[in-house]
């Protein structure tokens, strides 16, 4: 055999370290706040650091953490079916973002947006992975237009994992300046690097949510948060439930845990002293108002019996060498809204027929989160009618144009607002006939029929938009979030230091959902999101193929992971033995229809608590994800 030696320059960039060494940056964002001043000159930070370094009351603590990638592992792979009709290119697409799919297909085919129709009945899971991936719909549409035949294109599962984007892995470094007299945080200086892949995709939005959440539930007098997305020669990473918030929460919570381990402080005491109070401002200048952080903290510790468990854990560890236990608490403050203000709008189209039946079209995508059920409840409660009259139609760009993605825990907020807006118009148009229905003089069907006979319009378009400005990173002014949700979690674990095996003994969650529209749906969402967050930091590990690079065995950009067979999502054996979910008491969100709060993403961040508990038991050098091997290696 003959071999040909090929020397390629530049060499492929496949890791964050490679990209950093060659200054390959796709996008960067920063937040600067110094003692109440937004966007101060950088020289002021230099002076602040010098001042704090010379202050004997200040402890300076450095921290680094790696946050791993995560595969969405939705049951339904990426794909679309495309049909060419006389009037339109019609796609039945598995997408969270119909407008993005529509505009991408129209662009590659050279058509107007109105020539392309995207229909979505439901998804077999999305988790953010179907928010920005339009290429497979485009490929199917090109073939359908060329051949004038229906085309279906769905990826093989192994190909889906190989080619589609994941949660951004990150390397985060930071320095905490802590006043040991007041026990308050003075300054937090952070730089986080994320692997973006070969293009930006949704990385800017992921990075922005990362820097927004580096403070978590804590007030810092001064903060400098810098985030950068690195360009690598690998698949383009994308959205995943929580966007960049889980990476940020993991960093700040492990930093505080390591700090308190090092200096022998009570972690919960330090947390409680530094929680946001009503009226405090975040590093991006937004006032924290009606975020029940303290209430979530107190209810979590009370319901979980944290103090009792902590004592039993300490006693257990004193009497056992190989088996060790850990218990941890984790708070959460999560901002709800799209970071890009133009996306914070919803659309709905409602038709009422003369028998009283109602057809509802909205822009949200049902993907197992119970969105349609909750919106059906809104229609029934607003119109005071039975559920049998209401039909939620599949989402289509023909009925609701210019849609925002179903993402950012905002699906209910935006669509419920739009539906209520449309229903209020119909009530006004029905006039005295709706009043006669309310008084019991007419049945619902008779009222609708009478309104039609009297030439009243029984259809309406609804629109709703969050009244917030959004945030400008150039000026560092504005309001990115409509409201905050606050929650807490306690996790109790046991590990075997000889084998690395472990078990989650108990998890207690207290989650702020405002006033729940449907508690059963919310409980299901919370349980699933939390376990998905636990999986990210415990069992789920994406494996890479190694190769000979520069004479050394190094990681390449190619996965050996190809599906559920070698990617371990949590199973029934990984669920906590005792798993309790509580809705935070006494909350009502006046901003949103019927007082609820977004529930899709925040509970995933609470999965960090399981990793904190494992660090308590295994040692602070435990690397994420906490696989059996990594727990065994930890000290």
Q: How far apart are CA 56 and CA 48, in angstroms?
A: 14
Structural domains of the chain sorted by starting position, each given as residue range(s) with its CATH number in brackets: 29-69+166-338+480-633 (3.30.365.10), 79-156 (3.30.365.10), 345-465 (3.30.365.10)
d(CA 343, CA 543): 35
Q: Dihedral, CA atoms, 118, 402, 167, 213, nearest 10 degrees? A: -160
Give the single-character DSSP code of 115: G
Are the C-beta atoms of 306 and 490 separated by less than 8 Å?
A: yes
Between CA 612 and CA 326 the distance in angstroms is: 8
Cis previous bond, 625, omega within 30: yes
The three-state secondary structure class of 276 is coil
> ω into residue 509 within 30 of 0, thus cis?
no
Q: What are the CA-CA distances from residue 312 to residues 423, 490, 493 (Å)?
A: 56, 15, 12
- Rounded to a whole number of angstroms, the CA Rg of the chain reads 26
Mean pLDDT by 10 residues, the chain (635 residues): 72 92 97 96 97 98 98 96 98 98 99 99 97 97 98 96 97 99 99 98 98 99 99 97 98 99 98 97 95 97 98 98 98 97 98 99 98 98 98 98 97 98 99 98 99 98 97 97 98 98 99 97 98 99 87 86 93 97 94 96 99 98 97 94
pLDDT at 123: 96
Q: Which of 386, 601, 616, 620 is catalytic?
A: 601
Angle at 447 between CA 441 and CA 452, to 5 degrees: 150
Contact 339, 471 (CB under 8 A): yes
Q: Residue 504 phi/psi, 5° resolution? A: -85, 110
pTM for the predicted model, two decimal places: 0.96
Distance, CA of 75 to CA of 88 (rounded, Å): 29
Q: Collapse the DSSP code of 118 into the 3-class scheme (helix H, G, I; strand E, B; otherwise coil) and give the result.
A: strand
- The region that residue 595 occupies, defined by phi over 0 for left and psi between -120 and 50 for alpha, beta otherwise, is left
Residue 295 designated active-site:
no
User: 297: which residues sit within 8 A by CB, 6+ positions away?
Assistant: 271, 272, 275, 329, 331, 488
Kindly give, in sequence order, each residue whose CB lies less than 8 Å from that of residue 452, ignoring residues fewer than 6 positions away: 354, 458
H or E stretch covering 104: helix 98-109
């Amino acid at each position: 055999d003959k071999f040909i030696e090929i020397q390629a320059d530049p060499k492929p960039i496949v890791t964050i370290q490679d990209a950093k060494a060659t200054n390959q940056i796709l996008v960067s964002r920063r937040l600067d706040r110094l003692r109440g001043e937004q966007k101060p000159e950088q020289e002021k930070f230099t002076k602040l650091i010098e001042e704090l370094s010379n202050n004997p009351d200040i402890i300076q603590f450095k921290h680094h953490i790696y946050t791993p990638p995560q595969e969405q592992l939705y049951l339904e792979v990426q794909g679309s079916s495309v049909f060419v009709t006389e009037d339109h290119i019609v796609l039945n697409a598995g997408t969270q973002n119909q407008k993005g799919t529509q505009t991408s297909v129209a662009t590659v085919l050279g058509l107007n947006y109105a020539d392309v129709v995207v229909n979505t009945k439901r998804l077999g899971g999305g988790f953010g992975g179907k928010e920005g991936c339009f290429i497979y719909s485009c490929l199917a549409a090109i073939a359908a237009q060329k051949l004038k035949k229906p085309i279906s294109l769905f990826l093989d599962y192994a190909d889906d994992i190989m080619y589609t984007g994941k949660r951004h892995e990150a390397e985060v470094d930071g320095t905490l300046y802590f006043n040991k007299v007041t026990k308050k945080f003075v300054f937090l200086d952070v730089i986080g690097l994320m692997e973006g892949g070969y293009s930006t995709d949704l990385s800017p939005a992921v990075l922005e949510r990362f820097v927004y959440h580096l403070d978590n539930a804590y007030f810092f007098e001064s903060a400098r948060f810098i985030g950068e997305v690195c360009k690598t020669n690998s698949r383009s990473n994308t959205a995943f439930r929580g966007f960049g918030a889980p990476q940020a929460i993991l960093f700040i919570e492990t930093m505080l845990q390591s700090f308190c381990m090092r200096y022998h402080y009570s972690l919960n005491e330090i947390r409680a002293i530094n929680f946001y109070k009503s009226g405090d401002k975040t590093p991006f200048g937004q006032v924290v108002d009606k975020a029940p952080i303290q209430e979530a903290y107190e209810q979590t510790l009370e319901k979980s019996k944290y103090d009792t468990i902590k004592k039993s854990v300490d006693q257990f560890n004193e009497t056992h060498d190989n088996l060790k236990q850990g218990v941890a608490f984790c708070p959460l403050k999560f901002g709800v809204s799209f970071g890009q203000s133009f996306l914070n709008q919803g659309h709905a189209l409602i038709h009422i027929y003369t028998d009283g039946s109602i057809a509802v079209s909205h822009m949200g995508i049902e993907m197992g989160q119970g969105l349609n059920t909750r919106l059906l409840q809104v229609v029934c409660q607003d119109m005071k009618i039975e559920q049998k009259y209401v039909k939620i139609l599949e989402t289509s760009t023909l009925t609701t144009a210019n849609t925002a993605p179903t993402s950012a825990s905002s699906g209910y907020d935006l669509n419920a607002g739009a539906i209520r807006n449309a229903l209020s118009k119909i009530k006004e148009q029905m006039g005295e006939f709706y009043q006669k229905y309310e008084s019991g003089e007419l049945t619902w069907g008779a009222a609708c029929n009478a309104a039609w006979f009297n030439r009243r319009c029984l259809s309406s378009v609804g629109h709703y938009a969050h009244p917030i400005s959004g945030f400008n990173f150039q000026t560092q002014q504005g309001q990115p979030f409509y409201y905050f949700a606050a929650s807490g979690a306690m996790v109790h674990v046991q590990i075997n230091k000889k084998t690395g095996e472990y078990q989650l003994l108990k998890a207690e969650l207290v989650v702020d959902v405002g006033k729940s529209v449907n508690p059963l749906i919310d409980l299901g969402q919370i349980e699933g999101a939390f376990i998905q967050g636990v999986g990210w930091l415990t069992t789920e590990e994406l494996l890479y193929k190694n190769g000979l690079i520069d004479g050394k065995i190094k990681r390449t950009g190619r996965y050996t992971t190809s599906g559920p067979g070698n990617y371990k999502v949590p199973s029934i054996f990984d669920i906590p033995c005792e798993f309790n979910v509580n809705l935070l008491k006494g909350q009502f969100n006046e901003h949103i229809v019927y007082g609820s709060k977004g529930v899709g993403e925040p509970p995933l961040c609470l999965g960090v608590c399981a990793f904190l508990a494992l660090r308590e038991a295994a040692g602070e050098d435990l690397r994420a994800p906490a696989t059996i091997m990594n727990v065994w290696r930890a000290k």
